[in-house]
C-alpha cells in the first residue's frame, strides 16, 4: 500500500467562484524575471564579430591613387570598397558603395560622391571602375 493511495484517485478540486487559469497564464507565473536587464544584449554584442582593417602596401596605395585621379578626370562611376569602423567595439567591416565622385575634400581627406555619401580616403581598400553604357558599347 502506497503513501498516497487514499487521495490518488480523487477528482481535481475546482472553485465555484473563480474560473480555471489558462495554461498560458499558469506558465507566465514561472517565467524568470530579468534580474540583469541588458545582460543578454551585452552578451550578443560581445559575440558579434568584427573585421580588422587591412593595411595596404605603398604599391597598393599608389595604384589606388592612380585609379582615383583617373576617376576624377573622367567623371566615371566606380564601386568603392572601404573599411567602416564599428561604433561599439574595436574593428569594423568592409562595405561597398557605388557612385561618381563629386569632389575630393583635401582638408578632411574624404571622397564625396554625387549622392552626398562621404568616404575616408585612408579607409579605401579597392576602387573598381564601372563602365558607362556608352563605354560598354565601344568595347
Q: What is the pLDDT of residues 60-115, one digit of tens each?
A: 999 999 999 988 888 889 999 999 998 888 889 999 999 999 999 989 999 999 99
pLDDT band of residue 46 (cuts 50, 70, 90) is confident
**The predicted structure's pLDDT at residue 80:** 96
**pTM tops 0.85:** no
Q: Is 52 exposed, middle or buried (0-12, 13-18, 19+ CB in 10 A)?
A: exposed
pLDDT band of residue 132 (cuts 50, 70, 90) is low
> Quick one: cell of 106?
583635401
Domain definitions of the chain by residue range? 58-138
Q: Is the pLDDT of residue 31 over 80?
A: no
Architecture in CATH of 58-138: Roll (2.30)
**The predicted structure's pLDDT at residue 122:** 94
* Mean model confidence pLDDT for the chain: 86
- As a whole number of angstroms, the distance between CA 56 and CA 53 comes to 9
Which of the pair, 49 or 123, is modelled with greater confidence? 123
Amino acid at each position: 500500500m502506497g503513501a498516497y493511495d487514499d487521495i490518488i484517485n480523487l477528482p481535481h478540486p475546482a472553485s465555484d467562484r473563480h474560473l480555471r487559469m489558462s495554461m498560458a497564464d499558469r506558465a507566465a507565473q514561472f517565467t524568470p524575471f530579468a534580474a540583469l536587464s541588458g545582460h543578454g544584449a551585452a552578451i550578443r554584442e560581445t559575440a558579434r564579430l568584427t573585421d580588422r582593417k587591412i593595411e595596404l602596401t605603398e604599391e597598393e596605395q599608389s595604384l589606388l591613387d592612380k585609379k582615383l585621379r583617373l576617376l576624377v578626370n573622367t567623371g566615371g562611376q566606380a564601386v568603392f570598397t572601404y573599411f567602416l569602423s564599428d561604433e561599439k567595439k574595436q574593428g569594423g567591416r568592409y562595405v561597398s558603395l557605388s557612385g561618381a565622385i563629386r569632389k575630393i575634400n583635401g582638408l578632411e581627406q574624404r571622397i564625396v560622391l554625387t549622392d552626398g555619401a562621404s568616404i575616408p580616403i585612408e579607409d579605401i581598400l579597392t576602387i573598381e571602375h564601372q563602365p558607362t553604357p556608352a563605354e560598354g558599347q565601344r568595347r
